[in-house]
Every structure is written in structure tokens, then in C-alpha cells.
Chain A
């Protein structure tokens, strides 16, 4: 009763305020081509990224003088990238088309803030390449391929057929595309965060953080005094672009249902430019969803449970995890096992990693074989001799994909009863790399998926990463964790160089996508590759034969990528 009485005045005030607001005149919204601004942005983005007009029809254009191009073939984003900053590919330069660049004059040579530009001696000043675009001149450039200085654009830039309304939407989008630097950027510092979840073992969290901090410290040590050089009046862009790195640790605790709130709290406390690495012992899903929603890049987290998506944008993973192993097994079976028609039986526990392996195998199965049969062993059930014998009897000649750990393999030799043609696939990841745990009797028919470098391969890369960790005083820890952070650091150094002063989150990812294939700086994976929209850097997984004895030799039966 008392609660209602004390609440009443506040309620009354709120009601009165609401009433007042309803009678106040609403602020006028500037419409673009007849649409409210937010809708106009969405439609403009659809033209830019998807090549589709508001009507749903593809944009039409002409390239190289006489080649008709529909928006479904390639889009503005295809060449100018998602961020609009453009790219250099081989001999072809795609210029920036983001708001900050388009609607500012373009000077030849270094571009400075006006105060610095005023101090450039006249004989060094090569003048204006073109004045700032306006709505009208941008429309002329897009339709007729002429810039405001009267220069003709290369034939590789399409000439677009856009109605006035459609043009207005696109121009509105470009005006807002990477127009302001992203959060987490100051004149001196880039602020990054890294997610450390308490479900990862403490030793691993420490190893990861120590290595990442070592990278950040070495970046900040400034042996070439970039900050002092940047202070010079006519400092080169390379030095002006230098920023100190500030690393904030975002700890995530407890149940995953609470992670999003924790992440939002972290972000609100201190805006960051991007997330670097990260570590968790379980499902990365909540962090992935947060980054996707907030449009914050997350680069190469250490997780065996990535989110698998063909279209999500903001998180770059090392690999697809166990899913990739299942894919490799199924593809190998189809391609080289002579098994386009071999029935497939998947056996697994009811656990996430095993389920992912199975999902990968199902996704990659195809051809004329019947869909795979999935046998899920419940938690209490033992994978004993009768179980395997019954399975072999029920599926003679089948290929068995066992998404199980070493503990379930003791009696798996009984699968021999399925016949000599029957092969058994195992997951190197689920076995934690312990090929010796595979029963000797089973080994001749085993095909082991191995999602990383073969033993003995990449010794130089491992040595380089270990030496770096030692020299930086990273301390003891899993050398694989150190090696993955080394790879991340290697890539970041390249990215900072290429990004220059264009501190936009989307451009950060675009630049990463332009990275060349990595073989040297990757101790764990034989090859990491990148490209626009490619979000799983490791594309491969070997299938190997397992030798005899307590330290079995692993012999590759497939190339790194099974086509």
C-alpha cells in the first residue's frame, strides 16, 4: 500500500510530461528522395553493398566502354570495399569513395589538416587534384565518369544508370560511409580490448594475455620515435598514422546468459576500436553476436567453438573447428575413398564439439550415397565391445566416422567385423592429437583428420614464435597459444601499415582481408588465407594414416585442402 502512495507523484509527473511531449511540435526529419533518413541509408547501403535498387531490381552499368554489368555480378563494395576506402590490386587502383574523402578536396601529395597545409612552402605545394565532390558532381562522376576537375575516370569504373531518386539515395549513403573515425581512436592512441572468459583454464588465460601484452608493449616501444617524427610540420603520413596501443581486458564471468550484459558494460565503460584475439573454453556465440550487433571487429579469438556463418562479417576465426574436420572426412571419403556410394555412419557423444564434427560431415556428404546415419551415444552408455560389434553387424561395408574421444575407443577394434572395405575416420582434434590412444588393431583402417601442421612440419615457424616469446619475457605457457598470438601480431603490424590514418573499424577488417597467405608466421596451421568476406583463415584439414607403436607416424593421405 505504501509503495503505491510513494509512487503516485512520480507517476503523475511522468504522465504530465508524456502529455506535454505529445502536444509539442516534432522536430522535422529531413527526407532523402522521399524516405526518412534511416530508411534512405538502408536503401543506399543496399545499392552499394548488394547492387540492388529500391525496386529490388539489379543496378545497371557499363564497364570498360562496352560491357554491361548488372548489380548481381559485382557491386560498389566489391571494388571499393565495405568501408569505401578502396584497394590496390596488382596494377589497378580503386580510389576511396567514403564520405570523409569524397566530400573533401583531394590534394596531390600528402594531405594535411588545413593549418599544416598552409605552412607548406609554395614551391612544394602541387596543388589541388580535385575540389570536394558535391551531390551534383558526384552524380556526374557516377553517370558520366568525369570528376569535378574534369578528369575522366578509368574505364574500369562503371558508368551507372541511376534515376535521380536512386542517385540521391546512393549519394546520401556515401556521404555517411566512413565519414568519421570510429570510436576508440584518439590523436595518440588506439584502444583495443580482448575478451578473456573464465571458462578457459587459468594457465591458458595467462599465457594468452602475457603474449598479447608483449606484442602491445613492443608496438609501443617506438624504436623509431614515430611520435616525435609525427610532430614535425611536414611529417610523413607513415609517422602521422602511428598510434600507441592501449589494451583493455574484458573479463567474462559465469553463465553465458549474462555475457552480453557484461560485454555491453565493458563497451560503455570505455569505447574500443576493435577486439584482438580473445580466449574461451566454450561457445564463442555470445561474443560473436555482440560484435555483429555493435559492428566491432574481433580478430582471431582462441576458441574451438566458433560461430559458423556464411554471411556474418565482424569476427575472423582461425578455423571452423571440429566442423572443418567432419567436412574433410566426408570429402575425402567421397573423393579418394572410392566412396561416392559408401554408406556413412557417424558415431558421437552428445557433446558440442562432437556434434560439430558430425554437422560438418553431414554438410559435406553428397553424391549418390544415402544420407549419413547418426548414432548418438547417451552420457551413461558405454562404448563397449557389444556396442561396436552390433554397429558393425548393422552396417557392413560402411565408413564409420567416430566423433569420440580416446576413452571411447578401447573396444572399437570390433568394427573390423564390418568387413575389410570398411574404413574408420577419427578426429585428431577430439583425440587432442593423441594418435597413440587409437587401438593398434584399429589403426590399419583408420583415417585421422588432422586440422593443423603435420608433426615435424613448420619447425622454423615454431622456433620463430618461441624465440619471440622468450625474448619478450612472455614466460611459461602453452607454446601453441604463444604461436597464435605471434600470428595475430604479425598480421596486425601489416594492417597498421596499410591502414594509415584511416581509422575506421570496417576498413580495419577490409585491410585484413587483403592480407597475403601466411605460411611463415603460422606455426600451428600450414597456411592461413584471407579475402573479402573470408572469415575462417585456415581452410584445410589433412586426412592421415596412423602407423604402429607408441609414437605412431602420421602419413598424409590428402593434400591440405581436400577438394
Chain B
């Protein structure tokens, strides 16, 4: 078959110049859920950056250590004055703790509004939701928080454009179950048990 070089010239040129063909970064601008799609579930590989954040008591926390270990971890990204998504996510975390106290799961919320969400704000927020021990709410410098968001495919330049995301770490292989959408406690428990069992 005779194919002229011309039709493939641009690609060849790009390859010659060492230009990378851009791939869509994981988690960029999620597509809206379909009509019958209650939520979207994927398995992802994420690596937490080596940063120090601060918890609701103002204590420094090494994020990598917090997210590692043999227990499953539930992670979400919220902020103290959030209007619509975070209340449901956090009510969900609170209810999860109440329904599965014996799970010993670690719950981690990280603020996407670190300028406003200082430790006092985090502490008051957790108290409002009746959080039990085991649920940490973290803040940090804008630079570190942005690094974390990008590492987990959750970065948005405008906090009003953030979307509902819950990540569950599978202790078995260290991968993360990524849940996009707002879900109830029954669904969260189902996903949690699946993650714990490596399914």
C-alpha cells in the first residue's frame, strides 16, 4: 500500500522533536453522570506527596504516613464554608463512623480552601458533624494542598467548581477506589468492604 508520508508527517515531526502526545490526566474534568449512573467507580493508582499538613489540633502530620498502613483509608476533599457537596460528604463520613465503629477505618478530609480553613475552623467543622476519633481534617500551605490535590486527580483551580469525590485506599495493593458522585451510607459501606477485601 502506498501511503504518502504527508498524512503522517505531523506525528512524525512531533515524535522527532520529542513532543509528548498529551494524555488526559486522571480525574480531569469528570464527565457528568449518565441518567442511570448512580455513581462512578474506578480503580486508580495514586502516590501521596511527601508533605506535612496540619490537623484540626494544629499538629503537623506527615501525609504519606497517615495514608499508609494496614487499615483502609477514606479520603475526601472539602472546605469549611462549602455550600452543597461537602455537607453531604461529611454527613456521610459521620454516619459511616457511627454505623461501623469497629472498622477502625481512618477517615481523612483535606481542605481545598487552606487560606480560610485554619485548624480552629477544621475543629469546629468536625464537632458540628459529631466526628469521632479517627477522622482527621487537614490543612496546610496553598502550595502543599495543591500538590496533594494534583496527586489525587482532584485539582480544580476554582473551589466552587469542585465535585463530589470519595477515595478509598485498598490496604492490599495500595490502590485507590475512586468514587465520583454523592452516595449514601449503604453504598459507602459496600464499597468500603470491597476495598478492604481487595475486590
Contact = CB atoms under 8 A, between A and B. Distances in A.
Contact of A90 (B58, B80, B157, B164): B164
Contacts of B185: 64, 66-67
A554 interface: no
B141 A156 contact: no
B88 A94 contact: no
Q: Which of B83, B128, B140, B162 has the most CB of A within 10 A?
A: B83
A421 to B, nearest CB: 22
Given A73-B87, A78-B83, A91-B164, A155 B184 contact: yes
Contact of B158 (A65, A69, A516): A516
Interface string B9-45: 0000000000000000000001011000000000000
Q: Which of B88, B163, B182, B184 has the most CB of A within 10 A?
A: B88
Contact of B113 (A94, A156, A529, A559): A529
Contacts of B119: 563
A72 B128 CA distance: 6
A66 B88 CA distance: 11
B193 to A, nearest CB: 16
Contacts of A155: 182, 184
B132 interface: no
Contacts of B163: 90-91
A46 interface: no
Contacts of B143: 559
B4 to A, nearest CB: 45
Contact of A89 (B30, B113, B160): B160
B63 interface: no
Main secondary structure of the interface of A (DSSP, over half): loop
B142 interface: yes
Interface residues of B, number: 47
Contacts of A73: 87, 90-91, 94, 128-130
B87 A79 contact: yes
B92 interface: yes
Nearest to B180: A91
Interface in A52-72: 63-70, 72
A96 to B, nearest CB: 13
A78 B85 contact: no
A436 to B, nearest CB: 29
B139 interface: yes
A144 interface: no
Nearest to A514: B160
Nearest to A61: B91
A67 B83 contact: no
Interface residues of A, number: 39
A78 B54 CA distance: 26
Nearest to B58: A563
Given A92-B182, A540-B115, A87 B83 contact: yes
B116 A534 contact: yes
Contacts of B157: 516
B184 A560 contact: no
A539 interface: yes
B186 interface: yes
A63 B95 CA distance: 11
B198 to A, nearest CB: 26
Interface in B162-199: 162-164, 182-186
B170 to A, nearest CB: 23
A67 B113 CA distance: 25
Contacts of A78: 83-84, 87
Interface of A: 63-70, 72-74, 78-79, 81, 87-92, 94, 155-156, 513-514, 516-517, 527, 529, 531-534, 539-540, 559-561, 563
Closest 9 CB pairs of A and B: A531-B81, A74-B87, A539-B115, A516-B158, A90-B163, A64-B184, A89-B84, A65-B184, A66-B184
Given A92-B182, A513-B81, A559-B143, 15 more contacts: A66-B186, A67-B184, A68-B95, A69-B87, A73-B94, A74-B128, A89-B85, A92-B164, A94-B83, A155-B182, A156-B182, A514-B160, A516-B160, A561-B118, A561-B142
24 contacts: A65-B184, A67-B92, A67-B184, A67-B185, A69-B91, A70-B130, A78-B84, A79-B87, A89-B162, A90-B156, A90-B164, A91-B33, A92-B85, A92-B182, A155-B182, A516-B158, A531-B79, A531-B80, A532-B81, A533-B81, A539-B116, A560-B142, A561-B115, A563-B118
Interface of B: 30, 32-33, 54, 58, 79-85, 87-88, 90-92, 94-95, 113-116, 118-119, 128-130, 139-143, 156-164, 182-186
